[in-house]
Amino acid sequence: MKEPNSGTDPIGQNLIKLISNVCFSVFVFTVLVITVIAITYQPPDPWESSRALTRVFTNVENATFMIDTSVLKTGEDVGMVSVVASPAAAPSEADVEASDVRNDETNVSVSVGCDDGRLVNCSDRGVLMAIKKFNLKHFKGIVFLEYQMPVDGVNPNECDVSWRFRNRKEKSWRRYRDFRRFKIGYTDDCGYKIVNAKGWHSGVNARRPRSRFNSTRSGERVKVSPSYRDDEINDTIPVVGSDPAFRNGKYLYYSRGGDYCKNMNHYIWSFLCALGEAQYLNRTFVMDLSVCLASTYTTSKKDEEGKDFRFYFDFEHLKETASIVEEAEFLKDWKRWEKNHKWKIPVRKVPTYKVTPMQLKKDRSTIIWRQFDTPEPENYWYRVCESKAANYVQRPWEALWKSKRLMNIVSEISGQMDWDFDAVHVVRGEKAQNKELWPHLDDDTSPDNLVSKLQGVIQPWRNLYVATNEPFYNYFDRLRSHYKVHLLDDYKELWGNTSEWYNETTVLNGKPVEFDGYMRVAVDTEVLYRAKTQVETFYNLTSDCKDGINTC
């Protein structure tokens, strides 16, 4: 006879159900936690460094700028997040370099019973692999991006090779070129080795010179000296095109204000405000490429108009990261529309900066035209980005890089010192003469004091680059008894009338361009950034404050 059913499941089944329920509860709880984290997590603000810089500029007692001939850091210096992914942020660069060498090693065929007297074949992959290994060992601050196959040098067993590279301290993706000559020998196991390597741009057989004519703005043809032109620079002016394309666009147009002919840091601060408002309003910014260089940077000691924006900044990168149209092209298209059509383009004229970007956000006019006709400082562009607007308009620092042509000079100078140098920034000039604001600066930067202070920081007989505004070249002669001293004027050939920079700016401008004071400061500053040890005036050489007494 069967036993009656007790109405309960066996203990094993209950235990399995209990475990299943617990596991399912844990799973649901985990999913819930991950969801909450994903919703509430805020990543680090990539604009934090620019906001800190914004606080430095806006923490002033009035709306005017102090005269400062130093160079304001631009997008490639402050490391902003760029629209184009920067190789600086790619974690695999070193791995790529090492893998290039490893891949080459797998392709090297080593002959048995080699003869040390036989000539080296520069096209052998083993030669390139040996050069790559040598470069990786000796140039730690360089990212090597692309090599060309080595070619024969002048003498037997010499090979010339060219490559593209990027400096690790530069945040941009821009590439530079070097070509060097290597003496190749054999190792004990019949592999290749580097016997010696010559300096920067010594491998002349690996470069391709071009002697050419170029057209200028006036239509005449200018013969330039043999050039090794940087083909990656494309700073042509964009064109709007057809009438429908112009009519369908939305534009922000700034008239010239009091910023014109102010120092370059003031210009940058205002220009990026205007560009930031255009981005906030989702409009194309109408840009005047004409720059007025303040008297502090000119040899005439007078403001000089008619300078080209492209002399100083990377216009190609700006075109790629911001929506812009050149002013002359814009006005030409506007005039053509007005001539060919009966109805006018809708224009909203804004007479004062007190009309905020937030108030213009929903404006449907084709052109928003900001006019700055009031007296200074009410007519400064950057006033648009003050007060509440600062919470909405962000300056696009990542859009502004220094000119690639100037940066090529920086790479030339650094390369001629084999990327192995220290630097000191010596600020003198008018500040050293102003005893009221800088009472100790003149004495603290005297030749004797420079020698004594630098000896405790920089090893003797190192390459020492002196970035300075001191006009007397021989002022630093006492340092030459202790260091291999380099000054910007030692490299005049880099902007002389046979240089690449001279050729390219002449073609761009239609006539020769002066290597002016701002260009000198920009190059000086960038070379300083690339030094292994950097000694600053107001942090290391003197106790005076950078902006005068009681401003530290």
Closest CA to 382 of 538, 262, 527: 262
Span 175-184, pLDDT tens digits: 899 999 999 9
What is the C-alpha separation between 163 and 105, in angstroms, rounded? 19
- Rg of the chain over Cα atoms, rounded to whole angstroms, equals 31
- For 396-416, the DSSP string reads -GGG--B-HHHHHHHHHHHHH
Boundaries of every domain in the chain: 87-206, 239-399, 404-541
DSSP run (H or E) holding 349 = strand 347-350
Output the pLDDT for position 284.
96
Closest CA to 450 of 425, 484, 433: 425
Q: CA 487, 488, 491, 497 torsion: positive or negative? A: negative
- Kindly tell me if the per-residue pLDDT of 138 is higher than 80: yes
Inform me whether the pLDDT recorded for 29 exceeds 80: no
C-beta neighbour count of 465 within 10 angstroms: 27
CB contact set of 118 (below 8 Å; sequence gap of 6+)? none
Q: Per residue in 145-164, pLDDT tens?
A: 999 999 999 999 999 999 99
Distance CA 370, CA 348 (A): 8
Q: Are 181 and 203 in contact (CB under 8 A)?
A: yes
pTM above 0.75, yes or no: yes
Cβ burial, residue 451 (10 Å; 0-12/13-18/19+):
middle
Encode pLDDT of 506-531 as tens digits.
999 999 999 999 999 999 999 999 99
Q: What angle do CA 158, 415, 312 make, to 5 degrees?
A: 135
Per the structure block, which two tokens stand in for 388? 């509440």
Q: Which CATH code fits 404-541?
A: 3.40.50
Q: What is the mean pLDDT of residues 112-131?
A: 82
Decide if 180 contacts 196 (C-beta within 8 A): no
pLDDT tens readout for residues 389-430: 999 999 999 999 999 999 999 999 999 999 999 999 999 999
Q: What is the DSSP letter of 238?
A: P
Nearest CA-CA partner of 63 in 270, 293, 214? 270
> What is the token pair recorded at 45?
């603000």
Q: pLDDT per residue over 56-76, tens digit each?
A: 444 444 454 555 556 667 777
- List the structure tokens of 62: 């009035």
